[in-house]
Amino acid sequence: MASSPSPSSPSLNSGSVLQFDRFQSLVDVGFWHRLSSLKLDTLGIDQSPITLVGFFAPHSRAQVSNHLTLLSESLPTAPIDHASSIETNLGNRNRCPVPGILYNTNTLEEFKELDRDNLLQIEANKILEDIRLGKVEEDSTLLLRFLVISYADLKTWSFRYLFAFPALVIDPPATLMSLQPATQMLTAEEAESLSAACNEWRSSSLTAGIPFFIVSINSDSQATLRPLKDWESCQGDQNKLLFGFYDPCHLKTNPGWPLRNFLTFICLRWKLQKVRFFCYRERLGLANLDVSLIGDALISIPTDFTEPQYIPKVVGWERIGNRLALRCISLAESMDPQRLAASAADLNLKLMTWRAVPSLNIDVLQTAKCLLLGVGTLGCQVARTLLGWGVRKLTLVDSGRVSMSNPVRQSLYTFDDCLNGGRLKAEAAARNLKAIFPAMETEGIVMAIPMPGHPIPAQETASVLEDCKHLQALIASHDVVFLLTDTRESRWLPTLFCSHENKILINAALGFDSYLVMRHGAGPNVSTPDNNLECRDDGTAAVLMNELSLKDVGAKRRLGCYFCSDVVAPIDSTSNRTLDQQCTVTRPGLAPIAASLAVELMANILNHPDRIYAPGEIASSITGNSAQPLGLMPHQIRGTISLFSQMTLLGYSSSSCTACSETVLSEFRNRGMDFVLQAINHPTYLEDLTGLTELKQAAGSFELDWDDETDDDAEIQ
Amino acid sequence: MSNLEVWDGTISQKDFYVAARTLVERWKQVNPSLPQWTWIPSKSTLMGSSCKEEGYLSLENMFHIDRNEECLIVDSFSEREETDDVATLVHSTSNETHIYDFHIVYSFSYKVPVLYFHGYQSDGQPLSMDEIENDLPPSSSKILRESKWTYMTLGEHPYVRRPWYTLHPCATSDWMKLLLGGTSMKDLDISSYLLSWLSVVGQAIGLRIPLELQQSSNSSSSRRGATKSPTGTEAVEARSGQ
């Protein structure tokens, strides 16, 4: 509890100027929330002053002065706001209400140009008038009127503000004759009685919110607290009178700010020149007369104060030391819904690392730049699943428009996107992703992917070449490419470029009730980061590897691409039926399944130390848990809904591949876009180049199709 | 639920209310000089039906005082010196006070208590995560860094409806089960649940938990963990009286 008072304190300098400790302000975050919604929902650009209720209480904690506090309840209730759960208690002993006024400007310039002298003067005049007209006796909190100027920048969620606690200046200033702990100035009996009276005053809801009062102590040492309006009746009996106030100040040497206008009031209204005041302070919710102070002040009001037209001098802008306490508070972290959405989305991923997969690298996913080629049924679903993994940078390539049939299957589009001929898919998808999650950095690129077997009219050659270069640049500038187009031949050029740039490519293709999801291997003639072994094509025909040698060989052999297992070059042909040529009629559940697998495959690759070089694994080659945090690292996943079955497959690169073989790549590296144009314009060129023509002749009518594959874990080549 | 069943570390909303009452009482006995936990009944109910057990515990105005000078004047405002006012006390220095509010809310999803807290400067400016960490005693920072159960995040306070810092509750039932030892439902003194819980959570956020809070409770539960020396004594003002 309180230590014994120190009567020899050097601060008790009798006869000096009475100095008041400034009021300090505290604004709860809830106030700014309420002001923001009031501004947005109700006030608009209206800049009329707003009535406030501030709250304060007597000092109660060691070393700390109580502040005048603004809470969300300080503002008038906005009809739309149901969020508040804090109740406004009349008679809450810790929330003595004080009237205030807020000037909130619409711009920073207006805020800076506010005539602060004038605003303060207006409040001072009100206080003086309230004293003169006797309003203060009825409502003593009028002596504590305060003023706030602010500029609420709702775009950046920052708020500038400055408080003023207007105090009338009297000249000469009041003189302090003595200031002592209350227990030093009272007999023990008086102190006990005063404590009890104060506790009663503070615990009654009728009086707890009244910060100024008269203490009357009779000859029997019995103290009573009286409201100011009882002044007349306090006269005449021979009781000792003290003028009490809730003192927010913690200093032993000075009274707090509320006394200042109170003294002026007492002197002006009741014509007293010598005032014994009582700085009421508490500990643990009870009156404490060791920390409360009693002092004597001499005050004389210059006669001009009483003249009706007198304009009082005023001080009171909140200061720290000598400088204005202009404050800027930024609440972007707690108010900006975009930031809140981003941190909430991150939370789920972080929780995953916490319990399920501690070694998961989320950063590599969040920073991965993903390129989606095709934004149809698969593309939409891949994008959505990438959102879930925290991927933020997406580039979406598509040349089509959203048609009326799309939104029911393509989950990024809505009916509105189909109207008026339909929005461009790339742009609609980019925009809608941002609508789902504003932290997304998306870009839509409207471009058709040039395809072999679709000869280009001479006049369009230049623009197709541009597209080719653009596509190559896009692939070069991204980390992961998703190949989600709906024709086989449109997959050729991206496969070639990814092979050339050695980019991770994930391919998904749909049949009516079956799907294929695969990752392409590294390009030819690229050193692996680990063992410096050169990845090279294995020209031999398909070999079924046993499990022991699989890993060994896999580390040295490149994984195949989409075209490695084909014996025909991509051409515009309907005789060569592959999965994706039927994709307009797929079971609706297929695309989400395949898209999810594609994204999960990406997550595994990016979390694998060897990334694109990670050897292919098949389910039966791994017993128990995989060494990698997210489990198996398959090459191909193939599933059939009609059987509700799914399997992992492994296939190595083929030296006859039309898209990723050394032959094709070296030709492309030598001849560049000329090679590309030739492949596009001459259907048999690629087959001739890679020796597929020969192979086909040798094998007769042999043709391999996905639908013929039934062996589990078979290698396909 | 059978009495013999091994307890899973969770409590019901009713038990939370009972445990909350115990915490309020014990805190008052042990920490009369500190701000007190109070039960805040919720007016608008989260779960549809209102009952007296719905609400949360609140401990507000815990101070952390630095001796640093304040520095918060932010830009060049046309500064006109007020006429020298001899009647205003001018401080040469001022203390920077950080004020913390702590709420304990019952999580209906996890069936455990969840701590929500926020800190602010004496002018109301909320403290950033970094500033909060600066206020913590080293032992707490270590716990926050190294323990997996102390994932601190900004989440919407279900009653205040604003983002407060919170310790994610998804491991709470596990360590509570450890803390109170494989107690069967029958032997469990549910009223001491929050005392034990707070003895752990308090360490992470520098909330001073007096030993007596646990020791003199008549809980039959194991004291494992609860008797660790309290950390964070410097973090939050613990002086009584002056």
Looking at residue B102, which CATH number applies to its domain? Answer: 3.30.1460.50
Contact (CB, 8 A) for A331 and B154: no
Q: How many CA atoms does the CB half-sphere of A46 hold within 13 Å?
A: 12
Q: Which of A5-9, A139-143, B42-46, B172-176 has the lowest mean pLDDT?
A: A5-9
For chain A, the average pLDDT equals 84
Domains A16-170 and A175-304 share a fold: yes
Q: Does the beta carbon of B75 lie under 8 angstroms from any beta carbon of chain A?
A: yes
* Sheet strands side by side (includes B38-41): B38-41, B55-66, B96-107, B112-121, B163-167, B152-156
**Does residue B216 register a pLDDT over 60?**
no
Q: What is the DSSP letter of B185?
A: T
- Mutation target among A17, A29, A105, A260 for the B interface, most CBs of B within 10 A: A29
* Pairing mode of beta strands A313-317, A293-298: unpaired
The 10 Å CB-count burial string (b at 16+, else e) for A398-426 is bebbbeeebbeebbbbeeebbeeebbbbb
Residues of B in contact with A1 (CB under 8 A): 240-242
DSSP string covering A553-608: HHHHBPBP-TTTT-SS---S-SSS--GGGGTTS--TTHHHHHHHHHHHHHHHHHHS
Residue B240 belongs to some domain of the structure: no
Q: How far apart are CA A471 and CA A20, in angstroms?
A: 74
A619 vs A279, residue with greater confidence:
A279
Q: What is the pLDDT of residues A164-208, one digit of tens each?
A: 999 999 888 999 999 999 999 999 999 999 999 999 999 998 999
| Catalytic machinery residues of B | 170
Reported confidence tier of residue A23, pLDDT bands at 50, 70, 90: very high
Q: Which of A125-134, A246-255, A309-318, A329-338 has the lowest mean pLDDT?
A: A329-338
Task: Map tokens 């404050």 to a residue.
Answer: A327
Residue B81 belongs to some domain of the structure: no
E-state strands within A72-218: 96-105, 146-153, 158-169, 175-181, 212-217
The distance from CA A599 to its chain's CA centroid, rounded to whole angstroms, is 25
Residues 6+ apart with CB under 8 A from A684: A569, A693
Reported confidence tier of residue A516, pLDDT bands at 50, 70, 90: very high
**Does residue B191 register a pLDDT over 90?**
no
Residues of B in contact with A85 (CB under 8 A): 42-44, 159-161
**Does residue A442 register a pLDDT over 60?**
yes
| Binary contact (A18, B61; C-beta < 8 A) | no
Contact (CB, 8 A) for B175 and B196: no
Averaged over A521-548, what is the pLDDT? 46
| A128: three-class secondary structure by DSSP | helix
> Which of B72, B90, B162 shows the shortest C-beta gap to A30?
B162
Residue B159 belongs to some domain of the structure: yes
Residues of A in contact with B151 (CB under 8 A): 350-351, 354
Residue in A with minimal Cα distance to B79: A324
Q: Which of A51-55, A172-176, A376-380, B39-43 has the lowest mean pLDDT?
A: B39-43
Contact (CB, 8 A) for B205 and B162: no
pLDDT score recorded for residue A438: 92
Averaged over A510-538, what is the pLDDT? 68
Residue count of chain A: 717
Helices (H) and strands (E) counted in chain A, each on its own, are 22, 27
What are the tokens at A104?
A: 């909130």
Chain B 149-208, residues with CB within 8 Å of chain A CB atoms: 151, 153-156, 159-163, 168, 170-171
**Does residue A686 register a pLDDT over 50?**
yes
What are the tokens at A283?
A: 């500990």
| Binary contact (A321, B65; C-beta < 8 A) | no
Q: What is the pLDDT of residues A352-407, one digit of tens each?
A: 777 678 788 888 998 999 999 999 999 999 999 999 999 999 999 999 999 999 99
**Does residue A261 register a pLDDT over 80?**
yes
Select A338-708's CATH number: 3.40.1010.20, 3.40.430.10, 3.40.50.720, 3.40.50.2300: 3.40.50.720
Residues of A in contact with B237 (CB under 8 A): 61-62
Q: Which of A67-76, A595-604, B184-193, B233-242 has the lowest mean pLDDT?
A: B233-242
User: In Å, how far are A23, A215, B106 from A276, measured between CA atoms?
Assistant: 21, 10, 51
Q: Which of A472-476, B35-39, B84-88 has the lowest mean pLDDT?
A: B84-88
pLDDT score recorded for residue A238: 80
pLDDT score recorded for residue B60: 87
Select A175-304's CATH number: 1.10.3720.10, 3.40.1400.10, 1.10.10.60, 3.40.140.100: 3.40.140.100
Contact (CB, 8 A) for B206 and B23: no
Residue B113 belongs to some domain of the structure: yes
| Binary contact (B162, A33; C-beta < 8 A) | yes
User: In Å, how far are A235, A316, B94, B236 from B87, measured between CA atoms?
Assistant: 30, 11, 19, 34
pLDDT score recorded for residue A335: 80
> Which of A25, A67, A324 shows the shortest C-beta gap to B79?
A324
Share of chain A above pLDDT 70, in %: 85
pLDDT score recorded for residue A594: 96
Contact (CB, 8 A) for A477 and A642: no
Residues 6+ apart with CB under 8 A from A507: A482, A483, A491, A495, A516, A517, A518, A519, A520, A561, A562, A598
E-state strands within A390-479: 393-398, 441-446
- Mutation target among B73, B78, B116 for the A interface, most CBs of A within 10 A: B73
The 10 Å CB-count burial string (b at 16+, else e) for A150-186 is bbbeeeebbbbbbbbbbbbbbeebbbbbbbbbbbbbb
Q: Does the beta carbon of B87 lie under 8 angstroms from any beta carbon of chain A?
A: yes
pLDDT score recorded for residue A440: 94
B129 vs A266, residue with greater confidence:
A266
Q: Does the beta carbon of B80 lie under 8 angstroms from any beta carbon of chain A?
A: yes
- Domain with B187, as residue range(s), is 13-65+95-215
Residue B24 belongs to some domain of the structure: yes
Q: Which of A254-263, A479-488, B139-148 has the lowest mean pLDDT?
A: B139-148
Residue B196 belongs to some domain of the structure: yes
Residue B90 belongs to some domain of the structure: no
- Total structural domains in chain B? 1
**Does residue B217 register a pLDDT over 50?**
no
B214 vs A612, residue with greater confidence:
A612
**Does residue B108 register a pLDDT over 60?**
yes
What are the tokens at A666?
A: 């070296």
For chain B, the average pLDDT equals 73
Among the ranges A498-512, A566-580, B21-35, which has the highest mean pLDDT value? A498-512
What are the tokens at A612?
A: 């694109």
- Mutation target among B54, B80, B86 for the A interface, most CBs of A within 10 A: B86
Averaged over B86-98, what is the pLDDT? 76
Tell me the domain boundaries of chain A. 16-170, 175-304, 338-708
Residue B76 belongs to some domain of the structure: no
Q: Does the beta carbon of B110 lie under 8 angstroms from any beta carbon of chain A?
A: no
Q: Does the beta carbon of B83 lie under 8 angstroms from any beta carbon of chain A?
A: yes
Query: What is the 3-state secondary structure of A495-550?
Result: HHHHHHHCCEEEEEEECCCEEEEEECCCCCCCECCCCCCECECCCCCCCCCCHHHH
Q: How far apart are CA A403 and CA B11, in angstroms?
A: 53
Kindly indicate whether the domain formed by A16-170 is annotated with CATH number 3.40.140.70: yes
Q: How far apart are CA A300 and CA A356, in angstroms?
A: 76
Averaged over B54-67, what is the pLDDT? 81
Angle at B70 between CA B68 and CA B74, to 5 degrees: 145
> Which of A21, A315, A347 shows the shortest C-beta gap to B153?
A347
Q: Does the beta carbon of B28 lie under 8 angstroms from any beta carbon of chain A?
A: no
